Amino acid sequence: MSTDPSPSASESAGRAVARAPWRAILVIALVGVMLRGLLLWLVLPLDIQSDEANYLYLALAKERLGIYYDQHRYFWPPGYPWLLSKSIHAFGIEGLNVLRAFQVALSGVIGVTTMLFAWRLFSRRAAIIAGVLWALNLPLGAYTHFLWTETVFLSLLLPALWHFVRALDLTDEGDDLGATRRLLLSGVLFGVALYIKEYVLFLVPILAAVVALRSRSEGWQEALRRASLPVLAVAVVTLPWTLRNHEVYGRTVVGGATLGENVFVGLNARSMNFDILPLRKRRADLGLPQIETMARTSFTEVPAGWVPVDRDGNGEIEVRDAGWDREFEAIHAIDRHSTQLREGLAFAMEHPGWTLRTRLKKWSELVTPLSFFTRHQAMAMYPEGSAVAGPMRAPMVLFALAISTLTMLLGAAGYFLTLQRGPGRTVFTVLIGYVVLTSLLVAMSRFRVPLEPILVVLTAGLLAHGLRDRSRPRVVGLAATLLVLVGLWWISWPETVAAAEMALGVTR
Amino acid sequence: MKPRSWMPHVALMAIAAAMALVAGAKHTSTEEALRIAFDGEASTDERLWAAHLAANRATSRDPRLGDGLVRAFLAAEDERLREGALTIDLCRHAIHPPGTRPDAAPPLQSAYVYAALEDGEYTPHRVRSRVLFRRKVGGSSVGGIRRMALPEARWFMDSLRGTPLPPRAEIDRYLIERSREPINLRKPR
């Protein structure tokens, strides 16, 4: 450690990747994978729930009928159900566990990239700390045994971002050929990621704009040449799917089409918190009051004068009854989008006060210290008699809550007071802004997952190098961010406590 | 490759153009898709794919698909074709009698899935039909009610692999238990 110099005032750009502490990185990644493997072994046999069931339906239908069907309300990209169908085709229903094991192995890519970022932005010491934090990151690690897209998606997103940052480094160094290759590779990875989640669809053009802006001193032609590379690569990689969609639907769909349904859920009168909603059944079984009733109503109550739509026509107003209904005339989700988007925006404009306070609620749900691990515990999804549901339950839940809380707090400090100027900071800023803005419609702890490795990197930077830059703007920036963060935690505090108690097994 | 070369752009555009040309050459018109979907001589895969195209290109409910093609598929000998009638493609074109509740399930498919058991036992086709119809994503108006659960998925895969299904009593008991789950607690959306 003593040979590890403290990084200079800017990021450590230009350090040859070959000089990264590969041995330490690979050993820590292996340990992290083994810990996730151990966790998987402890939680099996594991039931499915929520979207896991929907992915499985799509995989079964594909296996039997050879067609990838849309989901009527959504049109998800096909990658994850395809992986699932391949797995159950080869291994039967045990294929679910095989896919889980595959995700455990794949998470090594997330670990390696996280450490590389910490090394690139800070130092070898930071890389090792980031590796340890990643290996022990229970909320992130738990996704390896969920049949959700997060692990596969992150294992593509992080390398895509890594190659993008390296491309910016190489551009700064004047290595055009190297930069071109990295931009292409980054675009290809973003393209493959779009087969898993359409989430990054608008991130790529924003990153392309970053390339263009950073290249503007070399003329608009060169800026265009560089910026268009990742966009074109994404377009080509996703083109087979886009063309297939055009053949099937007669409409252009890149990746998937989920906006319309997200607008229905997010710009409607009812507040839906997806870390809380699935707990309804268990709370009813336990005779507990529903968590929604504990919410701070200033941030959830319906707009004044609101007349709900009795959606199932049973004469009773229920949690599913909304301010406006889905477009039923349109045949599928793709056609429903534009109408629902219009409807949602009109509702938001009609109720500006409601729109503002519920957006704060969305952000509050994004930064909640809860996670899908704690949600699984709260739903009692882990098998009875297993260590995870038994003696280790409370310590693990507390640890998961602590990890989420601390990485947000320390990560914010690392961003403002430790991370220096440079391409890495720019890309991290874009990603953070993108996640925050896309969470304005629908938010939950799962939507924070793309930021988790970034928070780990920033936390590691802080722990390795302390407060390196205490200039006034940075200190003010951190103070404001922490104030907002604590304020957002306060908004959803009653629900967070109730859900955390359920996760801990305290059901008073 | 020279630095600052536009060659990668040209290569990418060429690949994209080639893919677009191939897709254009393989295009099936909607009329042709409809013809194939009804064609008893066409293979099951061809008919399923043709139905997929016709059903999804439509901009409004089409009785030819929601009634005519459903009846044709459900009357087919091939079990895969009958199961194809139960997916989202044709269910979204279901024609309901006047006065039906907006969330009522597609009537033809519902009648097929809930018909009396042949020989008093669940056949593999029967189990698959039930899963494909009732566990689909999309809500009750297209036949979906309650999400897939692991035992059903296991039976589905067992049915494809020729593994014997559990006795009727066990399946019935399971289905009755599932039907008792309150929907609005399980499915907020």
A107 CB-side CA count, 13 A: 34
Contact A313 B185 (CB under 8 A): no
Q: Do B88 and A56 touch (CB under 8 A)?
A: no
B43: closest CA of chain A, how far (Å): 13
- Tokens 């998606």 sit on residue: A153
pLDDT in tens, B129-155: 999 999 998 888 899 988 999 999 999
Distance CA A436, CA B57 (A): 35
Give the residues of chain A that fall short of pLDDT 50: 1-3, 5-9
Residues of B in contact with A249 (CB under 8 A): 56-57
Question: With a cut of 70, which residues of chain B have pLDDT below it?
Answer: 1-3, 182-189
What distances in angstroms separate CA A129 from CA A133, B56, B68, B176, one per listed residue? 6, 51, 64, 53
B99 CB neighbours in chain A (<8 A) are: none
Residues 6+ positions from A162 with CB-CB distance below 8 Å: A113, A116, A117, A120
Following CA atoms B118, B121, B125, B130 in sequence, which dihedral angle do they give, to the nearest 10 degrees? 100
Cα–Cα dist A17/A26, whole Å: 14
Q: Say if residues B52 and B73 touch (Cβ distance below 8 Å).
A: no
Cα A209 from chain centroid (whole Å): 22
CA A422 from chain centre, in angstroms, equals: 24
Among A369, A300, A372, which Cα is nearest to A150's? A372
**Around Cβ B120, how many Cβ atoms within 10 Å?**
7
What per-residue confidence (pLDDT) applies to A494? Answer: 97
Contact A67 B48 (CB under 8 A): yes
Q: Return phi, psi of residue B43, to 5°.
A: -70, 165
H-helix segments, A387-492: 393-417, 423-438, 452-465, 472-491
The percent of residues above 70 in pLDDT, for chain A, comes to: 94
User: Strand locations in A113-265, DSSP E?
Assistant: none
pLDDT of residue A320: 63
Number of cross-chain residue pairs from A and B with Cβ atoms under 8 Å apart: 179
Q: Which of A232, A267, A459, A256 is nearest to A346 (CA)?
A: A267
pLDDT tens for each residue of A12-46 = 555 666 689 999 999 999 999 999 999 999 999 99
**For chain B, how long is the longest CA-to-CA vector?**
74
| Cα separation, A463 vs B145, whole angstroms | 50
Task: Give the other-Cβ count within 10 Å of A173's Cβ.
Answer: 12
In degrees and rounded to multiples of 5, residue B82 shows phi and psi of: -65, -40
Separation CA A208–CA A214 (nearest Å):
10
**Rounded CA separation A492/A135 (Å):** 28
Residue of A nearest to B158 (CA): A92
Residue type at A157 in one-letter notation = L
Q: Does B23 contact A243 at a Cβ distance shorter than 8 Å?
A: yes
Where helices occur in A1-50 by DSSP H, the ranges are 22-43
Q: Chain A partners of B33 at a C-beta cutoff of 8 Å?
A: none
In this structure, is the dihedral angle defined by the CA atoms of residues A398, A37, A381 and A48, taken in order, positive or negative?
Answer: positive
Q: What angle do CA A160, A161, A167 make, to 5 degrees?
A: 90
pLDDT for position A13: 53
Q: Which of B57, B83, B161 sits opposite A92 (nearest CB)?
A: B161
- Residue B98 phi, psi dihedral angles, 5° rounding: -60, 145
For residue A342, CA distances in Å to A223, A266, A305, A355 come to 36, 13, 21, 15
Contacting residues for A279 by C-beta, under 8 A, at least 6 apart:
A291, A375, A378, A379, A499, A502
- Indicate yes or no: CB of A247 within 8 angstroms of CB of B12: no
Give the chain B residue nearest A265 (alpha carbons).
B189
- Assign residue A66 a region (left: φ > 0; alpha: ψ between -120 and 50; beta: otherwise): left
**What's the Rg (C-alpha) of chain A?**
23
> Distance between CA atoms of A43 and A56, rounded to whole angstroms?
19
Q: What is the pLDDT of residue B116?
A: 86
